[in-house]
Amino acid sequence: MTANSLLQVSNLHVEFTTYGGIVHAVRGADFHVERGETLAIVGESGCGKSVAVQSVLGLIPIPPGRITQGEAILDGHQILGHQTIEGKDIRGNRVGMIFQDPMTSLNPTMTIGNQIAEPLKLHRKMSGAQAKKRAIELLEMTKIPEAAKRASQYPFEFSGGMLQRAMIAMAIACEPDLLIADEPTTALDVTIQAQILELIKDLQQEVGMGLILITHDLGVVAGVADRVVVMYAGEILESGTADEIFFAPSHPYTLGLLSAMPTNRRDVVQTLMPIPGSPPDLFSPPEGCGYAARCPQAMEACVANRPTQFTVSDSHFSKCWLHHEACEHRVLEVQQV
Partner 1 sequence: MTEPLVQIHKLTKHFRLGIRDTVHAVDDVSFDIRPKEIVGLVGESGSGKSTLGKTIIGLHAKTAGSVTFAGRRLPFRFSTSHFRKFANRMQMIFQDPYSSLNPRMTVGEIIAEGPKLLGTKGRVKIKHETREWLERVGLNADHVSRYPHEFSGGQRQRIGIARALILEPDFVICDEPISALDVSVQAQVINLLGELKDSLGLTLLFIAHDLSMVRYVSDRIAVMYLGSLIELGPADEVFFNPKHPYTQVLIGSNPEPDPKFERSRTFTKIQGEIPSPVNIKPGCRFASRCPKVMDVCRKKAPELRNIAANGKERLVACYLYEDE
223 binds partner 1 (CB under 8 A): yes
Q: In terms of CB distance, is 127 or 247 closer to partner 1?
A: 247
- Judged by CB under 8 A, the residue of 137, 157, 175, 198 near partner 1 is 198
Nearest to 102 by CA among 131, 142, 69, 141: 142
CB of 320 to partner 1, least distance (A): 17
Burial class (CB in 10 A: 0-12, 13-18, 19+), 150: buried
Query: In this structure, which amino acid lies at residue 52?
Result: A
Rounded Cα distance between 40 and 184, Å, is 12
2 binds partner 1 (CB under 8 A): no
The three-state secondary structure class of 54 is helix
- Judged by CB under 8 A, the residue of 205, 276, 296, 328 near partner 1 is 276
205 binds partner 1 (CB under 8 A): no
Rounded Cα distance between 44 and 132, Å, is 39
Give 22's strand partners: 17
CB of 294 to partner 1, least distance (A): 8
Rounded Cα distance between 157 and 309, Å, is 49
CB of 43 to partner 1, least distance (A): 9
285 binds partner 1 (CB under 8 A): no
Query: In this structure, which amino acid lies at residue 321?
Result: W
CB of 260 to partner 1, least distance (A): 4
What is the bridge-based pairing of β-strands 21-33 and 7-18?
A: antiparallel
CA 160 vs CA 54, 57, 116, 288: distances in Å: 23, 26, 17, 42
37 binds partner 1 (CB under 8 A): no
Q: In terms of CB distance, is 222 or 301 closer to partner 1?
A: 222
Work out the end-to-end distance of the chain between its first and last CA atoms, rounded to an integer number of angstroms: 29
- Residue length, the chain? 337
Site for partner 1 in 46-105 (CB under 8 A): none
274 binds partner 1 (CB under 8 A): yes
Applying CB under 8 A, which part among 1-9, 97-105, 167-175, 190-198 lies near partner 1?
190-198
Beta-carbon neighbour count of residue 283 at 10 Å? 11
CB of 275 to partner 1, least distance (A): 4
CB of 224 to partner 1, least distance (A): 8
Q: In terms of CB distance, is 131 or 225 closer to partner 1?
A: 225
Site residues (vs partner 1, CB under 8 A)? 44-45, 159, 161-162, 189-195, 198, 216-223, 225, 242-243, 246-247, 256-258, 260-264, 266, 270, 272-276, 278
